[in-house]
Amino acid sequence: LQKQVQQAQKMESLGLLVSGLAHDFNNLLAGMMGYAQQGMKHASDQPELADSFRHIFTRAEQGARMTRQLLTFARGSRLEPIRIQLNDLIAQTLGFLSTLLGPTIKIEFVPDPDIADVYADPTQLEQMLMNLCINARDAMPHGGTLMIQTHSFQLQQGKQDARFTTQPGPYVQITITDTGEGMSPETLSRLFEPFFTTKGVGQGTGLGLAVVYGIIQQHHGFIEVTSQPGEGTCFALCLPVAEQIAREDMMLGEIEVPEKA
């Protein structure tokens, strides 16, 4: 227990440090983006210069995205759960996700029309899908297929492992399967660790999956990952159905679950 408390204190001071830094960086980057945009405007008759400004803008934007992830992670942001039909939420983000994946990756969505609603924070679910799709994209540098499916299932027995404590009951599952390079067993065992990344310097923060883990935990769900090196990876995100949450009067994160609709 003492070790756990020490670990929690360490994480708390790390969180404070990180969110302070991330906040300052965000301001710096926002300033850079503004100046780069002005530069682009003034250099409209000098294509090379305009191009350099555009590069500055996109790099700063990339940095801002990373610091946003850091902030979400460090703050453990608060949930605003509402009743959600996951098929609709996914369908609404498909356009954005396919832009993110680029033209060489085919995206397939196979919804199960009978899935129940869940209580969830839509912004956080979108962030989660985005993080998983960015990883899938990075694992498929030569293109491939990303398959998103939904299912219902009944978890017969709750379980507790190092990562998740789960209650038995009805769940909805989103699986995200890529045909990418897969992971080694070592990566598979460490992938939710904050700051764990196999990507090069400036490429990965190692926070994408730590954020996904935090989001799923706050929603009382769990994640199962399977991966075959050279063949691909499947993330199964499981969330308890809304009825289940309401019946057991569960709390989502810090915020009370709204009354059943």
Q: Which residues bind ligand ADP (CB under 6 A)?
A: 131, 135-136, 139, 178, 180-183, 187, 191, 196-199, 204-210, 233
- Shortest separation between residue 85's beta carbon and ligand ADP, angstroms: 26
**How near is the Cβ of 192 to ligand ADP at its closest, in Å?**
7
* 22 exposure class (CB count in 10 Å sphere: 0-12, 13-18, 19+): buried
Alpha-helical segments (H) within 43-143: 47-75, 86-101, 122-139
Quote the least distance from Cβ 176 to ligand ADP, whole Å: 8
Q: How far is the CB of 130 from ligand ADP (least distance, A)?
A: 11
Q: Which is nearer to ligand ADP, 9 or 228 (CB)?
A: 228
Nearer to ligand ADP, 208 or 253 (CB): 208
**Planar angle of CA 41, 43, 49, nearest 5 degrees:** 125
Q: Which residue type, as a one-letter code, is found at position 98?
A: S
Q: How many CB atoms lie within 10 A of CB 247?
A: 11
Q: Which residue lies nearer to ligand ADP by CB, 26 or 187?
A: 187
Distance of alpha carbon 223 from alpha carbon 236, whole angstroms: 6
Judged by beta carbon, residue 53 or residue 213, the one nearer ligand ADP is: 213
Question: Minimal CA–CA distance to 31: which of 70, 1, 63?
Answer: 63
Closest distance of CB 197 from ligand ADP, Å: 3
Q: Which is nearer to ligand ADP, 122 or 206 (CB)?
A: 206
Q: 10 Å Cβ neighbour count for 242?
A: 24
10 Å Cβ neighbour count for 10?
A: 10
Residue closest to ligand ADP (Cβ): 208
